Chains A and B, each alone.
Chain A
Amino acid sequence: MVNLKIDGKTVEIEQGATILAAAEKAGIRIPTLCFLKKVSPTGACRICVVEIEGVAKPMAACHTPAVDGMVVTTQSEKLYATRKQIIELLLVNHPLDCPVCDAGGECELQNITYEFNVTRQSFEAEDVSPGTIDGWPLIQQVPNRCVLCEKCVKVCHEVVGASALFTNDKGDKAFIDKHLELCEYCGNCVQVCPTGTMISKTFKFRARPWELRKTATVCTLCSGQCETEVQTKGNEIYRVVAEDGCGSNDGNLCIGGFFSHGYVASDRRLTAPLLKQDGIHQQPVSWEEALSRVVEKGRAAGGAACAGLGSPRLTNEENYLFQKLFRAGLGSNNLDSEARFGFLRGMMTLRDQLGLGGASNRYDRIGSAAAVLVFGADVTAEAPLVDWQIERACLQGDGKLMLANMRRVKLARHANIFLQYKPGSETGLALALARLIVDKGLADEDFLNQYLADPAALEQLRTVDIDQAAAAAGVSRALLEEAADHIGGAESVAIIFGGDLLKGCQAEAATAALADLALVSGALHGDVGGLFPLDEKGNMQGVVDMGVAPELLPGQQDYATARSRVEKAWGVSLPSGGRDAAAILEGIEQGEIRFLYLAGVNPLVDFPESGRWRQALDKVDFLVVQDILASELTECADLVLPGVSFAEKSGTVTSHDGRLGYLQPALKPVGEARPDGQIFAELLALLGGAPVEAAALQTEIKDLCGLYEDVCFTGRGRRSCQKLPWQPQPKQLKILPVSAGDPVEGLQLLAGTILFQFGSTTTYAPGPAEVAPAGYIEMNPQDGKASGVREGGRVKLTTRTGSAVGPVRFSDAVPQGLVFAPVHFADVNVQQAIPIGSCYVAVEAGKA
């Protein structure tokens, strides 16, 4: 600690802290312009200069360390004059377009000009700043408004890790430029810009900041669930921003949060219930009629012939009501969601092995980890917030980053080690890493002895053939050893895995192997790091937690075990059996499922074997589609029920790390659309259940789900509520005997997510369409040539499941032998070629 005197006040602060921090601690305000707490100090504007006794020159408080015995003056006539002159300099050639500048009213340059009463200009110079940059998608750059504070550059590099922005040119011509190919279009540069230099094109010229109504809510586009503020005027979202210091996202957003809200205002929004009247044409009907039709058709089909698919797009309350509607109202346990294809598979393994039903720790505990292993995930695309935590650990901090993935994703740029493995080798690779850690004596022995049910089970790892695993993965043993040294030697380890692993054919075994690795590496030990399964979809954890799966009741309770308790609480008897998604599909095909209720889910784009779903849906007697956007799916529906977007409803969502986020309605529902929960509740009431009030519902969920007993559902003014972190139970953790699995042969097609789109929802928004307008197929140039296709040409992909056609992009981000296609786009609809149970599959590629 050091002691110093600022304006006569004594303040004590930790060694290395700046004068600015010390002043803040002492309650003394030093004016700043370029300072941004969440990035390293830049010291560009010099407005925070202070005087220090015994020091001839003025020093910038934001980047001068406080030193023991310093005597600092923050206010003096000279300092005032200096600051004022600097502001005058900043205003030389600053355009007087404040009336039409987006920043007008929330401009820090305006504010500081006003504060220092700068009413005249003593300086003049030729205006040499370059012209406005209009050529970038989504963001406009107006250099003559720039004060070159570099907040944008620093956020882009230090927080987001994109490193797209940089200062170009010299002197007064200098401006912020961009390596366009590195831009992630997160909009954080726009958010941190103190002036109107970085402008959101989707917001530009549309509203004055003070006109906007602000509603604190949560982004539901991915499982990061960033805390946001939706800003509206009339009944329209104008922009979405985030506040520094709030939530794990700390004021940061990604392209999803910042630029993709346009789908809410899409002209394809569903505004009234539509009923297929004559078997062909859908006609608007009243809610009364629509709901009674559901009840009638559902009852007529009988529980065994009814099936429903819930959604990670819906809130916890909605998913809870949906499963209750099915189980208690329709007497059906044919209930599932797309968690089935990935997340649930990993989660069930973790439950069995570790008693863990999600992530083992909070996302913000990744940020201080000494080593991070990202396995089978494009974190940047699946949960950008987790990417930012990794940047905090490994780019801002000293953490070592290991990336194991089939394709080269953004994090490869920052990784110490990139293990580019071949499809089908993931389990073996994870096991090999675990064994190496044990062999090298780096295993966390004390922890293992205390927590493993059978410490001797560690010996199983000794049977792993490391060389074979390395060969199968196509990585060198030396690299593997180095990765093991980093992971095994680190004080704290975060292991993060996602879609490419969780949706692969080895999901269960690979998850078990990663859990083994987490155990031996100490990832589950202590407050920092952890084990983090990820899924791209917003409330994937909530769907599972609320029991939208035939084997689970709310609170991730085993169906058979908790059945009587739930029956008692609900006062009904629960149905037996139950079909999962694949069985529902088979049931439809075999005519056994005749009533299908799709709530916020589109199997025609989002589900593997989407072509098979397409055919099956024709066989359903009565198809209810509840959604917010018209699609190829709603066209098939017998009844379309218009739900509402995240911005039009209240409720909660759960992130994988056990944070409950509160949605607040910022808009009134469009047309006659109704909040999804209200639809389910009314149906439940029509089917004989008791009417549900919001408060009572939350109490019911809390009472019934042990999982949620430590959180509060109402927010009470807070943005989110964090569940207590998972604690391992002594002698309860297991090493599961899994084997490496068989390597796959031949060219493989991998379907996955990309950063610019979230599910298929955002393909309805104009923002992301500027950078990712349509589907495509990424091929290694060698494979492309071998398949006879050309860059930009069209390729047909044929697998045992089906085929898909799309334009080709050559890229060496995919290695030879791997073809990648994003899942978001209905035009390519790669899911037609992807089998249930694996996101990668042998494929033949040929010219289309």
Chain B
Amino acid sequence: MSQVIFSSWGRQIVDNRQGGETDLASLKLKLPDRYLENGAIGAFMGWDGIIVLDRETDIVAMAAEYMKRVQEKYCCAKCSPGKKGTRVLQDTLARIVSGHGEERDLEIIEGLSALLDNCKCTLCMTSALPVFDTVKYFRDDYLAYIRGRRKAKPAASYHDKLTAPCMDRCPAHIDIPSYIEEIKNRRFDESLDVIRRNMPIPAVCGRVCPHPCESACRRALVDEPISIMVLKRVAADHEWMHHKRPPMAPAGSREKTVCVIGGGPAGVSCAYYLALEGYKVTILDMLPEPGGTVAVGIPDYRMPRDLLRREYEIVQGLGVEIKFNTKLGRDISLKQVKEQYDGVFIGVGAFRSKPMGVEGEDQGYEGFSEGGINYLRAVALGQPIKTGKRVIVVGGGNTAIDCVRVALREGAEDSILVYRRTRKEMPAESYEVDDAEEEGVQFEFLRNPTRLVHENGRITGVEVVKMELGEPDESGRRRPQPVPGSEYVIPCDMVIPAIGQDPDLSFLEEDNLGIETTRWNTIVTRGGVLMTDCKGVFAGGDCEIGPMTVVAAVGQGRRAARAMARYLETGRTFLDEADAMEDLVNNLGVFDKDEPVGLAGGTHREHQPKISGPERARGWDEIELAMPETQAVREAERCLRCYRVGMVAVG
């Protein structure tokens, strides 16, 4: 493990220049010691200070380079102290490094660092911080330059990255501050352009994303987090509501072909970014309908089907061909696909329901659904399926919540969710649990099914056992334990188990292409580029991560597309600068929940209007109504634009 020579990261000063040893791990700093193939990392400089790993690193030269990049590459110039101040800093540092500095230059740097506290956003403000640290803690190095006793010894290379807490936390790494800024400026088309750089299905992720970004929103440290997801929907809906044609077009045309298996969020993202690069992309999808799990796993009242279809029409408009009703392993083998195309992306999702492990579930009772995801799919595709009058759904995740709510809309008089822990531990999004309750869903917490009760092969109830919470398990949630002898039967005429799903990878078995899988039945990929053990075959989304979120699948689809493009051009797979720096800052962590932000708050998050519970419970109309654009602008104005720049010195 690397030793830290000096660190001011997180305002905690560790100075071992005169001796002493501290390793990165003990400081909880997740900074790698090497950068790609380029060599050892000498130092990192960024929004929260500096970390020096190599005492040979020329910190003054690094500060000068850092400020140059901040000013010339990233400073948006939209506030005076930022625009002019970082230029003065850049030139002052350059002057010092070139041997023409004076001692009073150090005062100018210190003074400006304070003045940059007046900046409009945090980009220049946080960039002044590490430079200020260098002057404070490496003053002798500066003086050596100023007194002509030192010549610059820059690192072999520097690599920088613009980030923000929300942007870093978003698995698709959307440039959130930028798209919010465009909304603030009432430029919805431009906002959507920014989103689409990382997210090809904004109407979807503007609606159903669990928005991890919002848990890394610095505004929450001041008052309430920005409604980042809804703002994305506003930008996406603006285009649709104005009947505008999306502006994207493929850059040229390339000969190489790619087959994407599975047209869910991961597959379509991979297809979209490859198509934009000019590759000929074909999506094979087992469904008769575009959208993958979004279409058949997310009910229409959360994600209207016409809007989902529109997203796919846009992708098709880029030349992507979608072959529906084509299932891997049934209609075509992976081997065949691999032979026919130059690159393959597997994004088959995770749609096989896990068994509950209760007595009777393999008996094929009438009224027993194979699984929540199967039930949702059947409803979504309009397949003949009979929903009972009194339905029990088992599970606590999003699929379970979707099932109880769909059952209501499909005519259930009672829709009951049975979960073995309490509401607090439910993995489902809490607002969806609230939504379900408003619609009349009943909850049976701390109950676990033990047996299916039937009469002549027809479900009449579920025997459950009462549970109590014990010690926390590895997930940090208290482990539920059955209360012996507390079993009783809840009468019902339908049971839907929704306790989880995993990928169906049976197609791998026949071809024996050497693709490794995990014990959770997911595909193994290597090196952050998402290639499987079979050359040219990539994988991403739920079949790689395990059942996750749309946005995680999109992030992987996009990264895979970029890696595939490099593979198709060079025959090699490797991380590029953008990926590497993305991972580097992501590991280091960008959001600090304990940061004293020091800004005025007192404002409230804007909410989109919603149809009332009882009114919406029996219909399929979208329950969340569009947020008026003026309200969106108001919400966007709350954004603090928490940009920051990190840079490593390598070699």
Contacts and interface: CB of A to CB of B under 8 A. Distances in A.
Contacts of A89: 80-81, 84-85, 88, 115
Contacts of A171: 71-75, 77, 83, 86-87
A44 B120 contact: yes
Contact of A46 (B81, B242, B603, B634): B81
Given A89-B88, A122-B108, A158-B186, A170 B77 contact: yes
A52 interface: yes
A812 B53 CA distance: 61
Given A44-B80, A92-B84, A125 B91 contact: yes
Contacts of B601: 67
Nearest to A401: B242
B110 interface: no
A265 B91 CA distance: 51
A398 B629 contact: yes
A148 B80 contact: yes
A92 B79 contact: no
B118 interface: yes
A86 B603 contact: no
Interface in A20-62: 40, 42-47, 49, 52, 55-60
Contacts of B628: 398
Interface stretch (A344-352, A415-423, A647-655, A799-807): A415-423
Contacts of A172: 71, 75, 77, 83-84, 86-87
Given A125-B91, A171-B77, A55 B84 contact: no
B630 interface: yes
Contacts of B634: 16
A397 B629 CA distance: 7
Most A C-beta atoms less than 10 A away, residue of B75, B115, B187: B115
A57 B72 contact: no
B91 A174 contact: no
B598 interface: yes
A163 interface: yes
B498 interface: no
A126 interface: yes
B534 interface: no
A315 to B, nearest CB: 39
B184 to A, nearest CB: 8
B600 A395 contact: no
B185 interface: yes
Contacts of B184: 40
B118 A90 contact: no
Contacts of B74: 170-171
Contacts of A170: 71-77
Nearest to B74: A170
Given A128-B87, A418-B243, A44 B73 contact: no
A126 B119 contact: no
A59 B120 CA distance: 9
Nearest to B596: A56
Nearest to A42: B78
B1 interface: no
B115 A82 contact: yes
A92 B117 contact: no
Given A68-B602, A170-B72, A45 B186 contact: no
Nearest to A158: B186
A743 B113 CA distance: 71
Nearest to B238: A416
A55 B600 CA distance: 6
Nearest to B75: A171
A484 to B, nearest CB: 15
Contact of B80 (A90, A154, A158, A163): A90
Contacts of B90: 125
B87 A125 contact: yes
Interface string A139-164: 00000000110100010011000010
A63 B636 CA distance: 12
B400 to A, nearest CB: 36
B598 A57 contact: yes
Nearest to B242: A416
B118 A49 contact: yes
Nearest to A147: B80
Interface string A105-144: 0000000000000000011111010000000000000000
B213 to A, nearest CB: 23
Given A46-B79, A60-B120, A67 B242 contact: no
Most B C-beta atoms less than 10 A away, residue of A123, A154, A414: A123
B246 to A, nearest CB: 15
B637 interface: yes
A396 B186 contact: yes
B599 interface: yes
Contacts of B633: 40
Contacts of A147: 80
A56 B108 CA distance: 22
B120 A163 contact: no
A125 B78 CA distance: 18
Given A124-B88, A396-B186, A57 B81 contact: no
Most B C-beta atoms less than 10 A away, residue of A125, A170, A396: A125
A64 to B, nearest CB: 6
B102 to A, nearest CB: 12
Most A C-beta atoms less than 10 A away, residue of B73, B602, B629, B637: B602
B635 to A, nearest CB: 12
Contacts of A9: none
A150 B187 CA distance: 14
Interface in B84-118: 84-88, 90-91, 108, 111-112, 115, 117-118
B156 interface: no
Contacts of B599: 55-57, 59
Given A40-B633, A44-B120, A148 B600 contact: no
B116 to A, nearest CB: 10
Interface string A169-184: 1111110000000000
A45 B108 contact: no
B576 to A, nearest CB: 22
A367 B484 CA distance: 70
A398 B599 CA distance: 30
B81 A148 contact: no
A26 to B, nearest CB: 18
Contacts of A58: 117-118
Contact of B630 (A43, A126, A397): A397
Nearest to A50: B600
Most B C-beta atoms less than 10 A away, residue of A58, A163, A172: A172
Contacts of A163: 187
B251 interface: no
Contacts of B186: 40, 157-158, 395-396
A148 B83 contact: yes
A45 B79 CA distance: 6
A46 B82 CA distance: 10
Contact of B600 (A44, A67, A86): A67
A468 interface: no
B499 to A, nearest CB: 43
B84 A125 contact: yes
16 contacts: A44-B78, A56-B599, A58-B117, A58-B118, A67-B603, A70-B600, A90-B84, A92-B84, A148-B77, A148-B80, A167-B77, A169-B77, A170-B76, A171-B75, A398-B628, A416-B243
The list of the 10 closest CB pairs from A to B, nearest first, reads A56-B598, A67-B602, A174-B77, A172-B87, A89-B84, A171-B71, A171-B75, A398-B628, A125-B91, A57-B598
Interface of A: 16, 40, 42-47, 49, 52, 55-60, 63-65, 67-68, 70, 82, 85-86, 89-90, 92, 122-126, 128, 147-148, 150, 154, 157-158, 163, 167, 169-174, 395-398, 414-418, 479
Given A44-B120, A126-B91, A172-B83, 20 more contacts: A46-B80, A46-B81, A49-B118, A56-B599, A57-B118, A60-B118, A63-B637, A67-B600, A67-B603, A92-B87, A92-B88, A123-B112, A124-B91, A170-B73, A174-B75, A174-B76, A398-B628, A398-B629, A414-B242, A418-B243
